[in-house]
């Protein structure tokens, strides 16, 4: 039987690894900076998609809480998407100082966000959706590209 908390926490760790690769590419002025940024962008936005299209709606339907923790998480996703957009523009403009200022802000936001999800939301999701975890995780995997 699958575990939602473990699956989503591992996805956080995978995104973190790709984030480090992206930052290292910028530091070293590597030719594949854009490729590394796009890999991180894809990983993070796929994570958001799994939550927003599958996990959050399932949780809201099961608990009846549509204006609680999921709403906060989506709002934070939007903040991170805005930072990603600005980071992309900084890369395109070759402005590494701006990029690193934005990436530091994103890293802090991601750490706080991930902690809330891992210590609170995923625990609640597992409590309410645990019997359906295999199906939910399978559905989330289909959204990855």
Task: Tell me the pLDDT tens digit for each residue of 18-55.
Answer: 999 999 999 998 889 999 999 999 999 999 999 999 99
pLDDT (mean) for 70-84? 97
The predicted pLDDT at position 1 comes to 57
Of 126, 107, 109, the closest CA to residue 8 belongs to: 126
Distance CA 8, CA 139 (A): 13
Sign of the dihedral through C-alpha 74, 78, 80, 85? positive
Are 26 and 61 contacting, i.e. CB atoms less than 8 angstroms apart?
Answer: no
Rg for the chain, CA atoms, rounded: 16
Global confidence as pTM = 0.94
User: Is domain 4-142 annotated with CATH 3.60.10.10?
Assistant: no
Total residue length of the chain: 145
The enclosing H or E element of 26 equals helix 4-27
Are 129 and 58 contacting, i.e. CB atoms less than 8 angstroms apart?
Answer: yes
The predicted pLDDT at position 144 comes to 78
Share of the chain above pLDDT 70, in %: 99
Sign of the dihedral through C-alpha 79, 85, 88, 89? negative
Of 45, 40, 34, 38, the closest CA to residue 20 belongs to: 40
In the block, residue with structure tokens 């993070």: 44
Report angle CA 17, 42, 28 to the nearest 5 degrees.
50
């Amino acid at each position: 039987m699958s575990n939602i908390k473990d699956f989503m926490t591992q996805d956080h760790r995978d995104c973190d690894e790709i984030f480090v690769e992206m930052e290292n590419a910028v530091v070293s002025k590597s030719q594949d900076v854009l490729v590394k940024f796009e890999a991180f962008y894809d990983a993070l936005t796929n994570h958001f998609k799994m939550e927003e299209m599958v996990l959050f709606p399932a949780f809201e339907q099961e608990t009846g809480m549509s204006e609680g923790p999921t709403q906060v998480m989506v709002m934070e996703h939007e903040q991170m998407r805005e930072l990603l957009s600005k980071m992309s523009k900084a890369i395109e403009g070759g402005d590494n100082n701006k990029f690193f200022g934005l990436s530091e802000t994103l890293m802090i936001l991601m750490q706080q966000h991930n902690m809330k999800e891992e210590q609170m939301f995923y625990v609640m999701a597992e409590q309410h959706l645990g019997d359906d975890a295999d199906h939910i995780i399978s559905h989330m995997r289909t959204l990855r590209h």
